[in-house]
Amino acid sequence: MTNRPIAPRGPRTLLALALCLFWSLVLAGNAAAAVERKPGSPSEDPTGRLFISPGRVEEDVEPGARTSVRITLTNDSDDQFDVSLSSTDLGQASDPRSVATQVEDGEFGAGDWLTPEVTDLRLEPFEIVEFDLRIDPPLTAPIGTNLAGLVVDSTVAEGEIGTDDSDSVFRVEGLIQVFLTVPGPVKNDLRITDIDIRDTLVLGNQRFAVWDISFQNNGTVNEHVSGNVAIKSLFGNTAHREKLENLLVLRGSKRTTRVIWRELPWIGAFTPEVRVRGDDARLKRATGERIIVLPWWVPVVLVLLIVLPAVYLWWRRRQEWKLYLEDEDPEWDPTMDELDSRSM
């Protein structure tokens, strides 16, 4: 067996090897940077909670084009947290005062567009973990807002990461709302559907009034509602004003917000007027039912003004009748008639 001399490598071969080494280092660096862990500063008064940031993601996406957002988990506790991540569809919550909730197969669901860089991890006490959430809209992604969420299930437990330990101290589930809008000829259709007042008559020591204002979004994109609720008196001046800022109403959903007017005047009649704008900047306006505010003694005085004259008239007529009977029969005694009627 003869030993062949190794042929010298040419410049092209060396260049190819260098490029392969370079890209392997880059890819390895990107993989390491996809999940970044760093120790946080221990708190003197830890909350014992897992903080998730951001709580809501709103992105414009293009069909077939990948994007990503950075998610941060912060363990503000001196315990270890086991965290599991999974994607889900979102839909309208059963409580109209909430924004959204998890659904299995949402009408506008986009849960399968989401892929977290990590699905199971363990956070050390006061540790901060950052990772990418990949967003892959399909080529057939529909125009408008699509609704997805990232479920963050955290547990203080022992055992291997990703296992369900029945001896867990507690379990907390968080939800990152992810709203992805595909640009195109979208439709904006926001409406004020109801202004519900809890009490139309406010009496006595109740020093507040409550309105529930409902919006309906029949468009193809989410609406961000901003404006104000002006409480106007009979003379047209504004007695109170409450701001509505960036209230999110999902496409195809209803949303209700509550307005509370505290420290009411002692007396008066007031009417709420809602003036808001959605993402299309068109003004929406509606007026609610009038409320009447009275102190406790006003109804009492009104009742007395009605009852006392009637009692006085009854007493006067009785006196006049007694005088008439005495004039007709001077010996008549009304008490005797009452005794005779009882004895019969």
Q: Are 275 and 284 in contact (CB under 8 A)?
A: yes
Superfamily, domain 190-294: Intracellular proteinase inhibitor BsuPI (2.60.40.2360)
- pLDDT for 4 equals 47
Pairing, β 56-60 against β 171-182:
parallel
- pLDDT for 202 equals 83
Query: How many alpha carbons fall within 13 Å on the CB side of residue 27?
Result: 6
CA dihedral 290, 296, 302, 304 (to 10 degrees): 160
Closest CA to 179 of 251, 107, 241, 122: 251
pLDDT at 303 over 90: no
DSSP for 204-264 reads TT--EEEEEEEEEE-SSS-EEEEEEEEEEETTS-EEEEEEEEEEEE-TT-EEEEEEEEES-
Give the DSSP letter of residue 142.
Answer: P
Of residues 64 and 342, the one with the higher pLDDT is 64
pLDDT at 20 over 80: no
Q: Are 143 and 183 in contact (CB under 8 A)?
A: yes
Q: Are 218 and 189 in contact (CB under 8 A)?
A: yes
pLDDT at 270 over 50: yes
User: pLDDT band at residue 98, thresholds of 50, 70 and 90?
Assistant: confident
Residue extents of the structural domains in the chain: 34-182, 190-294, 298-343
DSSP for 264-296 reads --SSEEEEEEEEEE-TT--EEEEE---EEEE-T
Of residues 236 and 297, the one with the higher pLDDT is 236
Instruction: Report the chain's mean pLDDT, rounded to a whole number.
Output: 84
Q: Are 276 and 223 in contact (CB under 8 A)?
A: no
Mean pLDDT to the nearest integer, 187-216: 90
- pLDDT for 340 equals 55
User: pLDDT band at residue 153, thresholds of 50, 70 and 90?
Assistant: very high
Mean pLDDT to the nearest integer, 71-94: 92
Query: Tens digit of pLDDT for each residue in 162-191?
Result: 555 544 445 668 899 999 999 999 999 999
Q: What percent of the chain has pLDDT over 70?
A: 79
Closest CA to 210 of 97, 106, 312, 123: 97
Is the CA virtual torsion 122, 126, 130, 133 positive or negative?
positive
- pLDDT for 160 equals 60
- pLDDT for 294 equals 84
- pLDDT for 6 equals 43
Of residues 308 and 237, the one with the higher pLDDT is 237
- pLDDT for 44 equals 77
Mean pLDDT to the nearest integer, 99-110: 92
The identity of residue 302, as a single letter, is L
Burial 169-203 (b: 16+ CB within 10 A, else e): eeeeebbbbbbbbbeeebebebbbeebebeeeebe
pLDDT at 29 over 60: no
DSSP for 39-86 reads EPPPPSS---EEEEE-SEEEEE--TT--EEEEEEEEEESSS-EEEEEE
DSSP for 18-29 reads HHHHHHHHHHHH
User: pLDDT band at residue 308, thresholds of 50, 70 and 90?
Assistant: confident
- pLDDT for 131 equals 96
Mean pLDDT to the nearest integer, 217-238: 95
Q: Which residues are CB-neighbours of 12 under 8 A, at least 6 positions away?
A: none
Choose which CATH entry (3.40.50.2300, 3.30.300.30, 2.60.40.10, 3.30.420.10) describes domain 34-182: 2.60.40.10
DSSP for 80-99 reads -EEEEEEEEEEEE-SSTTS-
> Residue 247 forms beta bridges with which residues?
225
- pLDDT for 146 equals 97
Q: Are 291 and 269 in contact (CB under 8 A)?
A: yes
Q: What percent of the chain has pLDDT over 90?
A: 53
- pLDDT for 280 equals 94
Q: Are 302 and 294 in contact (CB under 8 A)?
A: no
- pLDDT for 63 equals 97
Same fold: 34-182 with 190-294:
yes
User: pLDDT band at residue 312, thresholds of 50, 70 and 90?
Assistant: confident
- pLDDT for 310 equals 84
- pLDDT for 198 equals 86
- pLDDT for 329 equals 62
